[in-house]
Amino acid sequence: MASVGNGTEESGGGGGEEENFEDAFENIPVASKMDLKCALEECSMALNLFLNNKFSEALELLRPWSKDSMYHALGYSTILVMQAAMTFEQQDIQMGISTMKEALQTCQRFRKRNTVVESLSNLVSKQSVDQLSEEEMHAEICYAECLLQKAALTFVQDENMINFIKGGLKIRTSYQIYKECHQVLQMTQGNKSKNETYYQFEGGVKLGIGAFNLMLSLLPGRILRLLEFIGFSGNRELGLCQLREGASGSSLRAILCTFTLLVYHTYVSLILGTGEANFQEADSLLEPYLQKFPNGSIILFYAARIDILKGNFEKAQLRFQECIAAQQEWKQIHHLCYWELMWCYTFQQNWLQAYRYADLLSKESRWSKAIYVFQKAAILCMLPEDDLKRTGEDIVSLFRQVDGLKQRIAGKSIPTEKFAIRKARRYASSQPVKLILPALEMMYVWNGFAIVGKRADLTESLLVTIEKEETALQNETNRNEYYMDDACLLQLLKGLCLKHLGRLLQAELCFSKVIQSEKQIKYDSYLVPFTLYELGLLYKEQDEREKAIRYIETAKNNYKEYSMESRLHFRIHAALDSLKVSPASTP
């Protein structure tokens, strides 16, 4: 038990009713000594505060011991890193990096002292495992977690190539530590003297091995093969299995395993996959936390996101409003809600409401000003002339701002920003050429048709909008140089609607028109490989496996240097993975 300043003793293991927890720790005393068990208890209390929207209180609880306890150091720096990732403010990023440096130093003090001759790889022998103290085992896991987070912030902070390489090396070291800890875990599985701290260590290993394997498994084959050559592994089933086991446990990292799985099911598999999200598992993972933290903004956010994936947009809108009302301290969580609300209203073609949230994002959030301003202009393009006038916005001026708002992460331009900038160039000349349904094109970029496709009523309405634009384009007497690009974009969007409405033969005809027009497309070269991929998915749906593989492989092998190429390669990898059985690999 933690020995506290006023002589009282409390356990912060997260059990019992939430109300009792809040009453008991209204004024949290500072512990006067800190061993591993006490540290884990206090961090569990801090986690409860964090999930109850008491972000500052969580930091204050962790701060006093953040330079003397590895778990306080990890918890304190993790919250600051999360804050930096959400605000994208340079001072927050600097603060996150310097706190993480201190956390690494704190963890280092508890790690096993190796002589010059002994390398870390010697850590894992039966003899050395027996000599490892509990604290030293935990220090390895905490050190690996800190290293990984510092590497991630390094990429965001600087475009410097040296920093990029340093970041990559930190990730590799972190992965090696996790692998060695996994071996330690396997060697100690038979030990009879397992206690609470052992299960906490086990939770840390499952989080690390699970997250690494799951995220690396998403990478296209050629990149993964290169990474496997230098010691990484990307086994999706192993990753999911480890994370599920971690999430079902009672360790401090159970919630982190849960959040990793939720990010995968609700975002990664949509944006970088085929759009087939497992929202049933997401639902069951979130349910216990909804019961325990009914007003927790992060929990409410995921609940609303799952509603979106089910096509329950109206329910999601109410939940996002609850999430916004739940706390005012971290405004960045509001921004996440604004982004989702913007898409909810876009799916419903409620353009004025969608504009409202795009406008808020462009004014308040620093994540990607170029995307927000482009999105705002794209939504305004969908408004009737009278409604547009009432907003007082100038579409041409907005599109012209996009290029000047681009940013770089890890020295690279962001692919979606590059796409938006290229599209916005049509407004750069003195005689702008208007974009065709840009809001729906961006919906496709984010794989939104896979979501709205669950609602036949809204998909039908989108189809009406697309066909109306198609007729207007065909009736154009003065056809500009973008005519064929625009016509093909409409065919792709129309094909997607028809596919989700079950009109598969008509969808196939639309996709085929795009592919047949390849030589006439001047600017939007991305349309052909993306359409080949969609046609492959269409054949997959009809159980024409060989045909599906052929079209998807054609998209993969025959096209280069087009917009969002890496995003399509992620999706292709996921699609081929679902069509063929991949060989398993070990952690």
Q: How far is it, in rounded angstroms, from Cα 569 to Cα 582?
A: 16
Please give the Cα distance from 376 to 360 (Å, whole number): 9
**pLDDT of 10 over the 50 cut:** no
Residue 26 has pLDDT above 50, yes or no: no
Q: What is the C-alpha separation between 438 and 446, in angstroms, rounded? A: 13
For 82-98, what is the mean pLDDT?
A: 83
The answer to whether residue 3 scores a pLDDT higher than 60 is no
The predicted structure's pLDDT at residue 228: 75
- pLDDT at position 53 is 96
Contact of 357 with 341, CB cutoff 8 Å: yes
Q: How many residues does the chain have?
A: 587
Q: Taking the CA of residue 204 as centre, how many other CA atoms within 13 Å lie in the half-sphere pointing to its CB? A: 28
Residue from 393, 386, 395, 421 nearest 407 by CA: 421
Q: What's the pLDDT band for 586 if we cut at 50, 70, 90?
A: very low
What pLDDT shows up at residue 126?
53
Confidence at residue 169, expressed as pLDDT on a 0 to 100 scale: 79
Most confident of 176-190, 231-245, 532-546, 569-583: 532-546
pLDDT mean over 178-189: 87
Average pLDDT, the chain: 87
- The pLDDT, as a whole number, for residue 25 is 43
The two three-digit tokens of residue 202, written as one number: 């086990």
Q: At residue 164, does pLDDT exceed 70?
A: no
So what's the pLDDT on residue 319? 97
- Nearest in space to 102 (alpha carbons), one of 81, 73, 135: 73
Q: What is the pLDDT of residue 189?
A: 76
Report the C-alpha gap between 279 and 285 in whole angstroms: 10
Q: Terminus-to-terminus CA distance in the chain, angstroms? A: 36
Instruction: Report the largest interatomic distance among the alpha carbons of the chain, rounded to a whole angstrom.
Output: 86
Residue 193 confidence (pLDDT) above 70: no
pLDDT of amino acid 541: 94
Query: Which tens digits make up the pLDDT trace of 300-335?
Result: 999 999 999 999 999 999 999 999 999 999 999 999
164-178, 198-212, 476-490: least confidently modelled range: 164-178
What are the structure tokens assigned to 166, written together? Answer: 């340093």
pLDDT at residue 88 tops 90: no
Task: Tell me, rounded to whole angstroms, the distance of Cα 132 from its chain centroid.
Answer: 36
SS3 for 134-172 is: HHHHHHHHHHHHHHHHHHHHHHHHCCCHHHHHHHHHHHH
Which tens digits make up the pLDDT trace of 121-136? 455 555 566 677 889 9
Residue 218 pLDDT: 85
What proportion of the chain, given as a percentage, has pLDDT over 70?
Answer: 87
DSSP code for 251: S
Check whether 32 has a pLDDT greater than 90.
no
Give the model confidence (pLDDT) of 365-393 as tens digits. Answer: 988 999 999 999 999 999 999 999 999 99
pLDDT-derived band at 150 (thresholds 50, 70, 90) equals confident
Locate tokens 């446990």: which residue? 249
pLDDT band at 60 (very low <50, low <70, confident <90, very high): very high
The model's confidence at residue 411, banded by pLDDT at 50, 70 and 90, is low
Give mean pLDDT, residues 262-266: 93
State how far the alpha carbon of 302 is from the alpha carbons of 106, 137, 264, in Å: 33, 33, 12
User: What is the structure's pLDDT at 154?
Assistant: 72
Question: Six-digit token pair at 338?
Answer: 């604004």
Determine the pLDDT at residue 275: 82
